[in-house]
Structure 1
Amino acid sequence: MSSAVVTALEHLREGCFQRSLCLIVAATSIASGLEVGYEHYKGSYSNPVMYTPVVLSGALAAAGLSGMLSRLAARTLLRWVSVITLVDGVIGFFFHVRGIARKPGGWGLPVTNIVMGPPIFAPLLFGTSAYLGLMASYLRREEDLDRPAQHLTEWFEPQSSDWRMNLRHGRFQKHLSAVTVLWAFFSGVEALYSHYKTNFRYKAQWTPVLLTPLLMAAGVGAMKSRRIANTALPAVAALALADGAAGFCYHARGIVRRPGGIKKPLYNILYGPPVFAPLLFAACGFLGLVASLLRREKK
C-alpha cells in the first residue's frame, strides 16, 4: 500500500479530513442544486418555496469552498448553512407529501400518486450534502494530525462519549452506518418508482433496487458488529458507488440518444432521465465506505 493511501486512511481514522470533505460538499451541492433546479423548472416554480433549495445549494457550495480555505468558515458559515439546508429539505419533504395528497385520489391511490406525483424523498436526499457539511464543520483539519499539541490534547482528554468529541476524532462509525441505512432507503425508493415509470426497460435499472436492501442490511450489521463494518459494508458500499457511477453514464447516454441529442441540451436534460439522480445513490455508497474506515464510538 502506497504511503499516500496510508496517510489518507490515517487522516480518516483520526477525523482530520475537514478540507477534503468541504470540497466534496461543494461539488455534491452543485450537482444536487442543478438536479432540483431543473426538476422545479418542470413545475414552473409554481410555489416560491421551490426557489429555496436552488439558492441554498449555491450557498452551501460557497460555504464548502470557504470551509476548505478557512477553519473559522468551516466551523461557522458551513455549519449554519448546512443546518438551514437540512431544515429546508425537511420542509420540502412535507410539501412533496402534500403534493401527493392533493392529486386526484390522494393517498387512496398511493402507488399511482407516488409514482406520478412529486418525488417524495427527493428533498431529504437533497440534504445529503448538507449533512456532510454539518459533519465537516466538527472535524479537524488535515494539518492537525501532525501537530504535537493535538496529540497532547487527545492524550489528556477525558474518556468522553460526547458526539462532538467523537466526530472530532473520527469515532462515529456506528452513527454514519445508521445514516447510510436511512439514505440508502430514500435513494432506493426513488430509484424504484423512477424506473417503474419506464417499466424497467433495461435490466440495469434493477441494480439500484436490488443493491438497496443489501446496503441497508450491511449498514445495520455495521452498527452492531465491527467485523461487518470492516468487511461486508465496504464491499456492498463499493458496489453501490460503482453502480451509481454507471447509472450516471446510462442516464447521460439516455439524454444524448433523445431526438436532437446534444444539439438540444437544455430540452433533453429537462425531459430526459434525471442525469444526477444516480449520483445520489453513489453518495450512499460513499457514506458506507467512509463509515467502514472510521473508528467506533467510545461507549
Structure 2
Amino acid sequence: MKNDRPTGDIATALSLVTGATILGGIVLACRKPHVPVKKPQATVAAARRLNRAAGTLAASVLIDSAIEHYRGNFHNKAMITPLVTASLSLAASLHGTADSKGEAHVIRDLIYAGAGLTGLVGTGFHIFNISKKPGGLSWQNLFYSAPLGAPAAISLSGMLGFLSERLRDSHPDMPPKILGIPAGRVIGVMTSLGLMGTVAESGLLHFRGAYHNPAMYLPVTMPPVAAALLGASALGPIRRHGRLTRWWLRATALLGFAGTGFHAVGVARGMGGWRNWRQNLVDGPPIPAPPSFTGLAMAGLAALALLEDHPDD
C-alpha cells in the first residue's frame, strides 16, 4: 500500500514552516495597534526600527558572504571586505537600537556610509567577475557565478542605517524630512525598490532550481505585493490601505524566517545531510539569504509608522 504521509525531510520542512507560522502568528497577535502621534519620541522610535532592519540585513549579509567567499577560497583579498563592513554595520545597528537619543551618531554614520559604498563596489566586482568569463552575461554565468544582487543587500543595510540617523537628526518640533521630502515617503519608496531588487535575485536563483518545490513561488509573489502596497502608501494617501499594507509586510517578514527553514531542509537533503555540512552548506541553498525579506519588511513597517504619525506632511 502506498504511503502518502510526508516523511523525512518533507516532514521536517512542514514542521519548520508550521512552527514559524505559529510563532509569527503569536507575535503578530500580541502586537499593539500603532496609534499615530506627533512627538519627537515617535521619530526616534522609527529610527530604532530602521536600526533593527539594517542590523537584520547586515547579519544576513555577514553569514551569507562568509559562506560564499569561503567557497571562493578568498582568492581575492578584497573578499574579506564585506565581512568586515557587515560586522561593523551589525554592531552599529545594535548600538543604534539601544540608543534612545534624538541625535545622529557620527561613528554610526561613517559605518553605514561605508557599508553602502562597499555594496556598490562589490556589485562592480561581481559584474566584472561575470563579464570576464566565456559567454559574458549569459544565463549560465548569472546562475553560477558571483551573484549580482548579493552586494546590494549590504548597500541596503547601509542606506537604511544612514536614513535612521537622518531621522534622529531631524528637528524635534518639525515633521521629519529627508532632502525636503517627508521621511516616511522616502523610506517607503526606497524599501519598496529594495524589495523588488531582492525579489529579482531570489527569482533568478529559484528559476535555476526549476521551482521544484511549490513554496519557491512564495518569494516571487508575496514580496512584490508588499512592495506595491508600500509604494502606493508612500506615494499616495496612507489611509487607503494602510492596514492591509501593514499585515502584508508582517507576512513578508514571516516569510523570511520560513524561507530559512526551507533552505535548511534543502541543505539536509544533500548527500550526507548535516554530517557533510562543510560541503552542503556551501553548495546547498543559502540559509542566511531569506531574512533579507524580513529586514526590508521591518523597514517598511517603520516607514508606514512614520506615514501614519505625519499623514498630512
Question: TM-score, length-normalised on structure 1?
Answer: 0.80
Greater relative contact order (Cα 8 A, min sep 6): structure 1 or 2? 2
Structure 1 residue 41 corresponds to structure 2 residue 70: yes
- Post-superposition shift, 1:206? 0.7
Q: 1:27/1:161 Cα in 2 relative to 1: closer, same or farther (>3 Å)? A: closer
How far apart in 2 are the matches of 1:213 and 1:196? 16
Report if aligned partners of 1:13, 1:293 keep a CA contact under 8 Å in 2. Answer: no
Q: Corresponding residue for 1:235? A: 247
RMSD (Å), alpha carbons: 3.3
2:84 counterpart of 1:55: yes
- SS at 2:44 equivalent: coil
> What corresponds to 1:146 in structure 2?
none
**Which aligned pairs between 1:148-159 and structure 2 lie closer than 5 A?**
154=173
Match of 1:5 among 32, 38, 46: 32
**Equivalent in the alignment of 1:136:** 164
- Farther-moved stretch of structure 1 (287-296 vs 19-28): 19-28
Larger deviation: 52-61 or 27-36? Answer: 27-36
Secondary structure at 1:5 match in 2 = coil
Distance 1:25 1:287, change over 3 A: closer
Aligned-partner Cα distance in 1 for 2:160–2:262: 26
When residues 66 and 73 of structure 1 are mapped into structure 2, their CA distance, relative to the original with a 3 A threshold, is: farther
> What is the letter of the counterpart of residue 272 of structure 1?
G
Taking structure 1 as reference, are residues 54 and 228 closer, same or farther at Cα in structure 2, changes over 3 Å only?
farther
Residue 202 (str. 1) matches residue 213 (str. 2)? yes
- Partner residue, 2:10: none
Identity of aligned residues (%): 23
2:228 — aligned with what? Answer: 217
Correspondences of 1:8-87 after superposition (within 5 Å): 14-17=42-45, 18-19=47-48, 21-68=50-97, 71=101, 75-87=105-117
Is residue 229–residue 291 contact of structure 1 (8 Å, CA) maintained in 2?
no
Residue 115 of structure 1 aligns with which residue? 143
Aligned to 1:182: 193
Written as runs of structure 1 = structure 2, the 5 A alignment for 1:240-259 is: 240-259=252-271
* Unmatched tracts of structure 1, length 5 or more: 142-149
SS at 1:36's partner residue? helix
Q: How many residues align?
A: 279
Map of 1:147 onto structure 2: none
State the alpha-carbon separation in 1 of the partners of residues 143 and 199 from structure 2.
14
Flag the structure with higher helix content: 1
Query: 5+ unaligned residues in a row in structure 2: which ranges?
Result: 1-28
SS in 1 for 2:73: coil
Partner of 1:145: none
Q: Which amino acid aligns with 1:217?
A: A
CA displacement, residues 175-199 of structure 1 (integer Å, 9 cap, x when unaligned): 1221122111211111111111211
Q: Residue 173 of structure 1 contacts residue 297 of structure 1 at CA under 8 Å; is this kept in 2?
A: no
Match runs of 1:90-109 below 5 Å: 90-107=120-137, 109=138
Assess if the C-alpha contact under 8 Å between 1:60 and 1:81 holds in 2: yes
Cα distance in 1 for partners of 2:130, 2:68 equals 16
Q: Deviations over 1:10-39 (max 9, x none)?
A: 589821224554455445423321111111
Change over 3 Å in CA distance of 1:298–1:85 after alignment to 2: farther
Contact 2:58 2:157 in 1 (8 A): yes
Point out the more displaced range, 22-31 or 35-44. Answer: 22-31
Partner SS state of residue 120, structure 1: coil
1:52-110, CA deviations, whole angstroms, 9 ceiling, x for partnerless residues? Answer: 11111112222233434555996111111000110110111111112221221213x3x
Q: In 2, Cα distance between the equivalents of 1:213 and 1:72?
A: 33
1:262 to 1:100, Cα distance in 2 relative to 1, 3 A: same
For 2:303, the equivalent position in structure 1 comes to 291
Tell me if the contact between 2:187 and 2:303 (Cα under 8 Å) persists in the aligned partners: yes
TM-score, reference length from structure 2 = 0.76
